[in-house]
Amino acid sequence: MTVVLACDLGGTSFRAVLVDQDGAALAESVVPGPVPVETLDRSEIDPAAWWSTFLAAATRLAEDRPDLFGKIRGIAICGVTRTQVYLGQDDRSLRPAMTWKDTRAEAAAARLRERLGDHPEAPRVNAFHPLARLAWLGEEEPETARALACVLEPKDYLNLRLTGRRAGDPVSMARLAACAQVVDGRDAFARAGLGAALLPPQREPHEPVGIVLPGLPEPLDRIAGVPVVCCSNDTWAAAAGLGALRDGYAYNISGTTEVLGMVGSEPVEADGLLTVDWGGVWQVGGPSQNGADTVSWLLSLLGRTGDPVGPATAALLDGDRDPQPLVFLPYLQGERVPYWNPALRGAFVGLNRRHGPADLAYAVLEGVAFANRLVLERAEAALGRPAVEIRFGGGAAANPVWCRIKADVCGRPVVVGEAREPGVLGAALVAWMGTGRFGSLAEAQERLVRPARRFEPDPARRAAYDGLYTIFRRAEAALAPISADLAALARGSGALPGMPAPATSGPEARAHA
């Protein structure tokens, strides 16, 4: 028996799985990911921490299943995107990577858009755009910017450490690659005072990057010479693992954050959404800032702990619900699609004295689903037809209540795949393609992806959610300016300091009595 090593570098954990030719996961290792260093608008991780995490996961697999570890025939790693690793000429990182949550480039993005002028990428430049972050580096860390030789995604950094070769894929690198388009004799890099040489060589998912180098730390020395195949970001891999990489299907990947989009056979534009060539098909959609992490926040707020889609959440949902629903705006960390606004803030709207934990829990799940519906509506309008179904994966797909809410809110069937980790299965499809087992991604999806559960929309609940969705959109519009004002207070001198603790004795203590 032979296997491939399929890995998913997530926002909070690193997952490494040995997968056989039938798509079965035979051994799995999950290691907590590095904790980012964060302030109000900063979010950074030392790339070396990802390498240490990869080694830890590989070591566990080798210890648990030494018989299988020696039979690895290919490696593919998918991972988080909108996160940049900055390398010098010697392939060493020059500074911590800026994660998908970092918003320090917001002001630099506004200045950059002016310099880009009529370049087609200019309207897409925002605080999360890789070129905006490069512009920020040029303004705030000019020495680092001058020493910069290449920009990689985290999964590509791991491939570099494994093979000694730089490479990226056209899906993960789509926004940075688009900057290389020449308009009136100049590309976006030149207009920003940068060089297009920062882009690594591009490989399609399933194309080889290189082979595992000899002399790497244990247990990687046991798999020296094994091919490392270029994969893509975790969204693309999960969509492949759900069988959603085909015309007319929508996908929803719900982990720490949500990613939703629809796949079409032609490129179309939709306000606030990303249109990316996924190799023969085009996706219209993109990532949000909120998902299961929002449920984690609620559990913490209520003094409860546990998996955000597990028993702790189920216990909340089992409680009685007040006849008057709440509306929840899920923008606890700003928002990417479709608003690309780091200043948006969350809110519960309509609280009354009778509302309890169950009401809050339902409002949170529904708020995230309403944000999904907004993205889906824009994608369907651009493509000119409704989605056949929504292929749903990630941690939240294990929660049947959330599945039903999404089906009812969006008015589309929601289908959950058999694979517990579709991103890992997608990486395995790519790895097996790299070994020659499958001739195409379509063939790999047909052979290895198996749906498990289907949730049809309930017409009565759909009608009720239509009314609540209208209120949700009105609340968004009404509170967005207030969110901006509150965010500005936090960045300026208007933030309120904490109250001093009262004295424990003396006149001041008597004054507080």
Give yes or no: residues 355 and 400 share one domain.
yes
Question: Is residue 36 in some structural domain?
Answer: yes
Q: What is residue 493's predicted lDDT score, i.e. its pLDDT?
A: 62
Give yes or no: residues 189 and 331 share one domain.
no
Q: What is residue 222's predicted lDDT score, i.e. its pLDDT?
A: 97
Please compute the mean of the pLDDT values over residues 207-236 and round it to a whole number. 97
* d(C-alpha 337, C-alpha 340), whole Å: 6
Question: Is residue 496 in some structural domain?
Answer: no
Distance of CA 98 to the CA centre of its chain: 14
Q: What is residue 496's predicted lDDT score, i.e. its pLDDT?
A: 64
pLDDT in tens, 362-394: 999 999 999 999 999 999 999 999 999 999 998
Least Cα distance to 104 among 135, 62, 80 occurs for 135
Question: Is residue 438 in some structural domain?
Answer: no
Give yes or no: residues 164 and 298 share one domain.
no
Are the C-beta atoms of 169 and 231 separated by less than 8 Å?
Answer: yes
Question: Is residue 446 in some structural domain?
Answer: no
pLDDT in tens, 293-335: 899 999 999 999 877 778 889 999 999 999 999 999 999 999 9
Neighbours of 318 (CB within 10 A): 10
Q: What is residue 501's predicted lDDT score, i.e. its pLDDT?
A: 64
Q: What is residue 261's predicted lDDT score, i.e. its pLDDT?
A: 97
Task: For the chain, give the percent of residues with pLDDT over 90.
Answer: 85
Give yes or no: residues 17 and 162 share one domain.
yes
Number of domain units in the chain:
2
Give yes or no: residues 298 and 173 share one domain.
no
Q: What is residue 127's predicted lDDT score, i.e. its pLDDT?
A: 93
Give yes or no: residues 207 and 352 share one domain.
no
pTM of the predicted model as reported, rounded to 2 decimal places: 0.85
Give yes or no: residues 223 and 159 share one domain.
yes
What CATH number did the domain enclosing 175 receive?
3.30.420.40
Give yes or no: residues 80 and 175 share one domain.
yes
pLDDT in tens, 167-176: 999 999 999 9
Domain that holds residue 14: 3-102+148-235
Give yes or no: residues 336 and 304 share one domain.
yes
Question: Is residue 482 in some structural domain?
Answer: no
Range in 163-177, 190-204, 219-233, 259-273 the model is least confident about: 190-204
Give yes or no: residues 162 and 255 share one domain.
no
Whether the pLDDT of residue 510 is over 50: the answer is no
Amino acid making up residue 105: A
Q: What are the structure tokens assigned to 54, written together?
A: 């990869």
Give yes or no: residues 90 and 27 share one domain.
yes
Whether the pLDDT of residue 509 is over 70: the answer is no
Q: What is the mean pLDDT of the chain?
A: 93
Backbone torsion region of residue 133, taken as left when φ is above 0, otherwise alpha when ψ lies between -120 and 50, otherwise beta: alpha
Q: Where are the beta strands (DSSP E) in 53-172?
A: 72-79, 85-87, 97-98, 150-152
Question: Is residue 433 in some structural domain?
Answer: no
Question: Is residue 436 in some structural domain?
Answer: no
Question: Is residue 129 in some structural domain?
Answer: no
pLDDT in tens, 406-427: 999 999 999 999 998 999 999 9
Whether the pLDDT of residue 29 is over 50: the answer is yes
User: Cis peptide before 330, with omega less than 30 degrees from 0?
Assistant: no
Give yes or no: residues 296 and 194 share one domain.
no
- Give the number of residues written for the chain: 513
